[in-house]
């Protein structure tokens, strides 16, 4: 094996060749009393070492559910993976029995949640919750685990870490709590870090600090990072690749540079228009009109059609597949080229 990484997680024989993380045609549905909500409908993406992949989309587009399926922490019932694969260095995690899969959590793939207050256990000290990673996964003694914990809290820049290890989550500010979540998630030096809207619940001033911390840690440790957000502004500086999700499907996939230069999907275009930009100062922000579809009744044809200013008859009849429209650029729109080249600029909006 060509790898020298210390991670003790099991490896399949072809680990060297396989990508770090590969989500392949993933399908997830929620079976509730109100019907079957198809939350993820054939999502595929690949993440490499050191890459930051941003998953972008309005609330309810299936970003978190995709992440939960990768982690194996879906609420089951009502949530079920109905198809696809999640391969970590070639090993399909979805095929593993629970006990084997557990070995990957925290150690190979770790996750940070949006709301650190509710995601931390209210009745245990934060140091205890971080140290638990060392004690359970590595069998460290209380004393050693505590030393590592203080160290880690220093690394995520929590002031007076040694004095604060025994404090409880509610005694910290929102930003500090998110740092504790981050410390916990990187404790075992994971290869993949999933951050699900890590700054959404925070003050604007704190948001930048947390994003910087995440970016630094990611670079230092060469982690693959999946950054979930509904805020295009957040990702511009840190992401390499962007996946735009809508209605449980990838609508556009491209490098940050390409997407900011010119979107190749009307939905991306709408998202871009809804963020404040320095060069367009004074112009009114336009949110995309309408609402995302009900996931129990996704319309025929293109999912975005009811809200799309460019929709034609073909959009009604045929669902556009995600196709490569330029090297490294993918779009699920019948008129991707036209959108990309701005030929639709005169369409009514």
Partner 1 sequence: MGRYVIRRLLQMIPVVIGTTFIIYTMVWALPGDPFAGKCGDRACPPAYISMMTAEYNLDEPLLVQYGLYMVDLMQGNFGETFRGTEIVNELLQRYPTTVQLAVIAIVFELVIGIAAGVVAGLRRGGFIDNLVLVSTLVVVSIPVFVIGLVAQIVVGVQLGWLPVTYDGTVYSLILPGFVLGSLSLAYVARLMRTNLVENLRSDYVRTATAKGMPQKRVIGVHTLRNSLIPVVTFIGADFGNLLGGAIVTEGIFNIPGVGNMIFRGIRDREGATVTAAVTILVLVFLLVNLFVDLLYAALDPRIRYE
Ligand X SMILES: Nc1ncnc2c1ncn2[C@@H]1O[C@H](COP(=O)(O)OP(=O)(O)O)[C@@H](O)[C@H]1O
Name the residues that contact partner 1, by CB under 8 A.
71-73, 75, 98, 102-107, 110-111, 113, 115, 118-125, 132-133, 136-137, 168, 170, 181, 184
Q: Which is nearer to partner 1, 47 or 181 (CB)?
A: 181
Residues in the chain: 349
Contact assessment for residue 240 and residue 53, using Cβ atoms and an 8 Å cutoff: yes
Give the list of residues 6+ apart from residue 155 with CB closer than 8 angstroms, or none. 183, 217
Question: What b/e readout covers 226-246, taking b as 16+ CB neighbours within 10 angstroms?
Answer: bbbbbbbebbeebbbbbbbbb
Question: Torsions phi, psi of 108, nearest 5?
Answer: -100, -45
Closest distance between partner 1 and the C-beta of residue 193, in Å? 12
Closest distance between Mg ion and the C-beta of residue 230, in Å? 8
Q: Which is nearer to Mg ion, 91 or 185 (CB)?
A: 185
Closest distance between Mg ion and the C-beta of residue 147, in Å? 35
Give the list of residues 6+ apart from residue 72 with CB closer than 8 angstroms, or none. 93, 94, 98, 101, 105
Residue 45 binding target from Mg ion, ligand X, ligand SF4, none, CB below 5 to 8 Å by type: none
Question: Torsions phi, psi of 266, nearest 5?
Answer: -55, -30
302 binds ligand SF4 per the rule CB under 6 A: yes
DSSP 147: H
315 binds ligand SF4 per the rule CB under 6 A: yes
For ligand SF4 (CB under 6 A), the number of binding residues is 12
Closest distance between partner 1 and the C-beta of residue 188, in Å? 8
Q: Binding residues for Mg ion, per CB under 5 A?
A: 64
Q: Binding residues for ligand X, per CB under 6 A?
A: 30, 32, 37, 39, 57, 59-65, 75, 78-79, 295
């Amino acid at each position: 094996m060509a790898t020298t990484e210390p991670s003790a997680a099991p490896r399949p024989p072809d680990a060297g060749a396989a990508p770090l993380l590969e989500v392949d045609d993933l399908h997830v549905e929620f079976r509730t009393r109100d019907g079957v909500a198809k939350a993820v409908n054939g999502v595929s993406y690949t993440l490499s070492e050191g890459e930051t992949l941003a998953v972008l989309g309005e609330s309810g587009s299936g970003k978190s559910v995709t992440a939960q399926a990768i982690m194996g922490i879906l609420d089951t019932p009502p949530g079920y993976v109905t198809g696809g694969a999640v391969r970590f260095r070639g090993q399909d995690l979805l095929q593993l029995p629970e006990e084997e899969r557990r070995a990957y959590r925290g150690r190979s793939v770790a996750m940070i949640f949006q709301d650190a207050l509710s995601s931390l256990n209210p009745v245990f000290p934060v140091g205890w919750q971080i140290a638990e990673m060392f004690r359970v996964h590595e069998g460290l003694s209380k004393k050693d685990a505590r030393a590592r914990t203080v160290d880690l809290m220093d690394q995520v820049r929590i002031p007076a870490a040694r004095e604060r290890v025994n404090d409880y989550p509610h005694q910290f500010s929102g930003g500090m709590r998110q740092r504790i979540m981050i410390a916990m998630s990187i404790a075992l030096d994971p290869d993949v870090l999933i951050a699900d809207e890590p700054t959404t619940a925070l003050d604007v001033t704190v948001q930048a600090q947390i994003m910087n911390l995440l970016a630094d840690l990611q670079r230092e440790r060469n982690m693959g990072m999946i950054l979930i957000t509904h805020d295009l502004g957040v990702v511009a500086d840190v992401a390499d690749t962007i996946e735009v999700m809508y209605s449980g499907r990838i609508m556009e996939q491209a490098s940050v540079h390409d997407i900011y230069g010119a979107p190749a999907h009307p939905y991306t275009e709408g998202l871009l228009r809804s963020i404040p930009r320095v060069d367009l100062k004074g112009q009114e922000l336009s949110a995309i009109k309408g609402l995302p579809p009900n996931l129990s009744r996704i319309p025929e044809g293109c999912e975005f059609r009811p809200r799309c200013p460019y929709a034609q008859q073909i959009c009604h009849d045929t669902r556009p597949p995600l196709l490569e429209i330029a090297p490294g650029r993918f779009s699920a729109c019948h008129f991707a080229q036209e959108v990309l080249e701005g030929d639709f600029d005169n369409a009514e909006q």
